Amino acid sequence: MLQIYNSLSRQKELFTPREPGKVGMYVCGITVYDYCHIGHARMFIVFDVLYRHLQALGLDVTYVRNVTDVDDKIIARAAQNNEPVDVLTDRFIDAMIEDETALNVLRPTHEPRATAAIDQMVALIDVLIEKGMAYAADNGDVYYSVSKFAGYGKLSGRKLEDMRAGERVAVDHHKHDPMDFVLWKSVKPGEPSWPSPWGEGRPGWHIECSAMAKSLLGEQFDIHGGGMDLQFPHHENERAQSEAAHDKTFANYWMHNGFVRVDEEKMSKSLDNFFTVREVLKEYTGEELRFFIVNSHYRSALNYSTAQLDAARAALQRLYTSLRGTLNNANAGIEQSYVDRFNESMNDDLNTAEAFAVLFDLAGEINKLDSPESAQATKLANTLRALGDRLGLLQADPEAALQGAPAKSGDLSSSDIDALIAERNTARAEKNWQRSDDIRDQLAQAGITLEDAGGKTTWRRS
C-alpha cells in the first residue's frame, strides 16, 4: 500500500490509481539552454526512483517528462551565441541524455518537446477564451483571468488577496488584473514564432505543460511532479488552466522534490553556485552521485559538498565489497523478508534512506558467511543486486566498480598497478616487508588501496 505525500492536501495519502493497474505521471522537465546541474539531477533521479517503484508494484506506468525548448532564456542564449535556437536546444538535449545515462536514469515513456505541441497549446488557449477564462489583450498577448478560477491558490496555499498585496508583481497595463499570467506572447523581432488566432507569437511556459499532459495522458491523470520551486506559480497555473478548460480534476497527486543546496543556500543559476553534472563526474562516478541523492528523503533539502560525495563513495564501497566474489546468478532466488522490508520503506512516501538500511543489512549478512560462493551468499547477493536495481544502483561488476572510480590523485594505469602489485608480492614471498610496504605506500599516495585476502591481492580506488 503506497502512501505518497500530496502537496495539494499537504499530507500523506494512500495512492489509488484512477484506473486499476495503470498510472499516468507527468513531471516538468528542464528548459534546455545549459548543462544540467545537480539540482536537475535530483529531479531526474527522484522521479526515476518513483517510476521504478511504481513498476515494481506491478503498475503499468506512462511516464511523461517534457522538454521546454522555447523560452526567453533560450532565445537570449542563442542570440548571445549567435546560433539558431534549435541548434542550441538540440545540443543541450543531447547533453542532458548523456548525463541521465551516466546517472542510470531510465528514459520516460514520452519526452515531448514544447515546440512540437504548439497546435495543442493554441487549441487549449482557444477553449479558455471560449469559456471566458482568458482574454486577448490589444497588444496580441493572451492572458488567463486568475480571479475567475475559484480554486486558484489551493496548490501553493496562498490567497489571491495576499498575493495582490505583494509589491513584487510588476504592473502591466495590458492585464485586467496584475495576477493574470500570459498564455500567448505576441512575436518580437528576431524571435521564433507560430501563427495563432491572436497573431504570430509563442506560448507562455505554463500552457506548454497543460497541453502536453493532455495530449499524452488525457484530461485527468494520477501524478504530477516537479521541483519544489515549480509549485508556484507554474503548477498552480497549470492546474488553473487545465481544470478550467476541462471542468475536472487535473492531477490527483502532486509531488515536489526538495532542493539541492550549497553552503545551506539554494543551488541556482542566479546565485551562480551551481555544479553541473558533468563537472562532478570528473571526480566521482554517476553511481556515487546517484547514491548521494537517493540517500536522503526526496522532500528534504540536500546540501551538496565533496565530503558528502566522499561519504557516498565509502558507503558504496561497503556494498560492492560485500558483493565481491559472489556469483551473479539471477536464478539463485530472493530472500523475501528483505524485499518486504524494503517495500515497506519505499511505500512510505519513498523512504529511500530507510530502504538503504535493508541493503546494508544484506551486505552485513553476506560478509558473515564463510564463502561468498555458497548458495546462501548467492541468494543474498542476488537479493542485494535486485534491491539495488530498484534504486538504480549496484548493477556494475563489483571489482570494476571498486576500481572504476575516477582517481582523486595520481593517475596510474591498471597495468602500472598490476606490475607494482606483482613486484610487491615477490617481495612479500621473500619476506622483504620494507620493499613490500614501500610499494603499498606508493600506491596509497596515488589513491590506490590494496587488500590482501585469501592469498590474492586486490585493489580499489579510495
Partner RNA sequence: GGCUGAAUGGCAGAGUGGCUAUGCACCGGAUUGCAAAUCCGUUUACCUCGGUUCGACUCCGGGUUCAGCCUCCA
- Footprint (CB under 7 A) of RNA, residues 385-424: none
Q: Among positive and negative, which fits the CA dihedral 75, 79, 85, 89?
A: negative
Nearer to RNA, 166 or 197 (CB): 166
* Candidate ranges 28-36, 98-106, 108-116, 215-223; the one touching RNA (CB under 7 A): 28-36
Nearer to RNA, 7 or 17 (CB): 7
Nearer to RNA, 70 or 128 (CB): 70
The interface mask with RNA, positions 72-91, x = CB under 7 A, is xx------------------
On whether the CB atoms of residues 222 and 2 are closer than 8 A, the answer is no
The interface mask with RNA, positions 260-289, x = CB under 7 A, is xx--xxxxxxx-------------------
Site for RNA in 162-191 (CB under 7 A): 162-163, 166, 168-169
* Candidate ranges 106-114, 135-143, 194-202, 345-353; the one touching RNA (CB under 7 A): 345-353
Nearer to RNA, 28 or 212 (CB): 28
Minimum gap (Å) between residue 126 Cβ and RNA? 23
Minimum gap (Å) between residue 429 Cβ and RNA? 10
Minimum gap (Å) between residue 331 Cβ and RNA? 26
User: Identity (one letter) of the amino acid at 199?
Assistant: G
Minimum gap (Å) between residue 130 Cβ and RNA? 25
Site for RNA in 423-442 (CB under 7 A): 428, 433, 436-437, 440
Site for RNA in 210-269 (CB under 7 A): 226-234, 257-261, 264-269
Site for RNA in 43-72 (CB under 7 A): 43, 71-72
The interface mask with RNA, positions 287-326, x = CB under 7 A, is --------xxx--xxxx---xx--x--xx--x--xx----
Nearer to RNA, 17 or 37 (CB): 37
Nearer to RNA, 127 or 169 (CB): 169
Q: Give the closest residue to 166 by CA, choosing from 243, 232, 239, 235.
A: 232
Minimum gap (Å) between residue 19 Cβ and RNA? 27
**Using CB under 7 A, which of 76, 79, 357, 407 touches RNA?**
357
Minimum gap (Å) between residue 61 Cβ and RNA? 19
Site for RNA in 126-155 (CB under 7 A): none
